[in-house]
Amino acid sequence: MIEQTTLMLKNDISELESVMSFVSGLCARNSIPPEMEYDLNLALDEMITNVIQYAHPEGGDHHFTLQITTSPEEFVARIEDDGVEFNPTEYPLPDLNAPLEKRKEGGLGIFLTRQIMNSVEYQRVDGKNFVTLRKKLN
Amino acid sequence: MTLSEEKNGNVFVLGMSGRIDMEGTNMLVERITKILDAGERYILLDFTHVAYLNSSGIRALILLAKRLANSDGKLILAAVSDPIQQVLKISGLGSIFSVLPTKAEALGSFPQ
């Protein structure tokens, strides 16, 4: 069975709670194990936080959408926002071999997302960012 | 997230309960800054009741470890769940942080 839901979200960090709550229900309905649920939550948290914090540097109230499609084989999340152009697939990776004193803190969320998901895709169409995250479920 | 604290010899034990997401991280950073400003140098972070850690929490841990390294301090993480250990490992921090299975073992690993 394929389940598809679209959530309309505000650029407010409190929205993450409703996303996590939705993912929790989805994982329960589809018998997705806790370690997989952790990865899905983490990837969504990191990418949605980026949109909320950086998509509209001018401030103000904005909305964006999260569409989640789940089949027995795959979890697909598509995030669409009309903020500044931002391609997470081209963001420089942090230097993981650097000693502690030289560690930079930026870029880690994008890096983690790229590591734990099977793919992260980006498109810029008609002034909008489309980020698609995919994770195999079996 | 809720925080609890205790002093065990010269070790400051900070117990965390809940999610270390952005909101949890802000709370943690605020508390840890006060603890370090009060002169504490041996910090044990008890992860027993932590269900989630994201990149904002990891950034806070890196900053804490850096600050303690600069002041001859020591940071130990105790009772970290498998998914969180996995996130630390992917972040390349598995070997940088001291992670011990239990709070008791962590307490025994600080200089007396």
pLDDT digits (tens, 9 = 90+) for B34-86: 999 999 999 999 999 999 999 999 999 998 998 999 999 999 999 999 999 99
pLDDT above 90 (res A78): yes
Whether B10 and B42 have beta carbons less than 8 Å apart is answered as yes
What does pLDDT average to over chain A?
94
CATH no. for residue A113?
Answer: 3.30.565.10
Q: How far is A95 from chain B (nearest CA, A)?
A: 9
Would B110 be classed as within a structural domain?
no
Give the nearest partner residue to A42 out of B22, B54, B69, using CB atoms: B54
Q: What is the DSSP string of B52-76?
A: EE-HHHHHHHHHHHHHHHTTT-EEE
- The pLDDT assigned to A57 comes to 94
Which residue segment(s) compose the domain that A102 sits in?
3-136
pLDDT above 90 (res A100): no
DSSP three-state, residue B97: coil
Q: Return the bridge partners of A40, or none.
A: none
Structure tokens at B48: 């027993």
pLDDT above 80 (res A106): no
* B80 interfaces chain A, CB cutoff of 8 Å: no
Read off the pTM: 0.93
Q: Which parts of chain A are beta strand (E)?
A: 3-10, 63-70, 74-81, 119-125, 128-136
CATH no. for residue B44?
Answer: 3.30.750.24
* B73 interfaces chain A, CB cutoff of 8 Å: no
**Triad A32, B2, A110: Cα angle to 5°:** 50
- The pLDDT assigned to A105 comes to 63
From the CB of residue A43, how many other CB atoms can be counted at a distance below 10 Å?
24
Would B111 be classed as within a structural domain?
no
8 Å CB contact of B66 and A103: yes
Distances (CA, A) of B77 to A30, B24, B74: 33, 17, 10
- Pairing type for strands B2-8 and B42-53 reads unpaired
Structural domains of chain A, count: 1
Structural domains of chain B, count: 1
* B96 interfaces chain A, CB cutoff of 8 Å: yes
Give the nearest partner residue to B22 out of A41, A49, A115, using CB atoms: A49
Would B45 be classed as within a structural domain?
yes
Q: How far is B47 from chain A (nearest CA, A)?
A: 16
pLDDT in tens, A23-65: 999 999 999 999 999 999 999 999 999 999 999 999 999 999 9
Span A87-112, average pLDDT: 83
> How much of chain A, in percent, has pLDDT values that exceed 90?
86
